[in-house]
Amino acid sequence: MRRTPTETPGTGRDRLPELKQALERTGYYPEVVTEGVETALGGEVVESFFVHHEPTFDRDEVRRHLTVVVLTPTRLVLGHTDEHAGDDLLPEPYTSTSTEAITLSSVRSVVVTRMVANPTRGPRPPAEAVLTVSWGGVSRLDLEPAACSDPDCEADHGYTGMLAGDDFSLRVSAAADGQDAVPRLLAFAGALSARTRGA
């Protein structure tokens, strides 16, 4: 099952109609996803967006996940939609859509990682890209035992670690998502970086 990414760089006009078209093209419960995202937008203009549709594997079942990232004049809106086979509370199959709206002034960092294959052959387009956005909602603490330079030392030096923001991360690749996925994610990341530089 091929993933379907879509992004539209901001040009100063409302891109909501294009976002709706992109959601329709995924074929993944577009009415449900659109309603959730529109509610989160609160009437704001869509300056840029990225839609990422991917399958997830749960034992012998394939389920789908849709991520929608939207840039408005004042906020970054994230939407996640998953499908579920049913459970004790809802026995029939159902979807769950979660949205989060972050003010641009709250965004602490926009990290973009580009992976370029065979860089010794000259300039080449990135084969993969990862966008990581941090606003302080979720942090990850990585700890490891501290050591000193003495190889014979047996003292307990405690722990050392790194606290990293890891609120949102999205990875796309040309191989899995199509040739236009990486440049589109990079264009969205550029638009977000431009809007948060003075926030």
pLDDT digits (tens, 9 = 90+) for 128-141: 999 999 997 655 66
Q: What is the pLDDT of residue 54?
A: 84
Is residue 54 within 8 A of residue 65, CB to CB? The reply is yes
pLDDT digits (tens, 9 = 90+) for 60-82: 777 788 999 999 999 999 999 99
Q: What is the pLDDT of residue 128?
A: 96
pLDDT digits (tens, 9 = 90+) for 88-109: 888 888 889 999 999 999 999 9
Buried b / exposed e over 15-46, threshold 16 CB at 10 Å, is bbeebbebbeebebbbebbbebbbebbeebeb
Domain boundaries, the chain: 4-106+176-196, 110-164
Q: What is the pLDDT of residue 88?
A: 80
d(CA 22, CA 16): 10
Instruction: Give the pLDDT mean for 40-61.
Output: 87
pLDDT digits (tens, 9 = 90+) for 180-192: 999 999 999 999 9
Alpha helices in 107-180 (DSSP H): 174-177
pLDDT digits (tens, 9 = 90+) for 115-172: 999 888 888 899 999 999 999 765 566 667 778 888 888 888 777 766 555 589 999 9
- pTM recorded for the entire structure: 0.78
Instruction: Give the list of residues 6+ apart from residue 83 with CB closer than 8 angstroms, or none.
Output: 29, 63, 64, 93, 94, 95
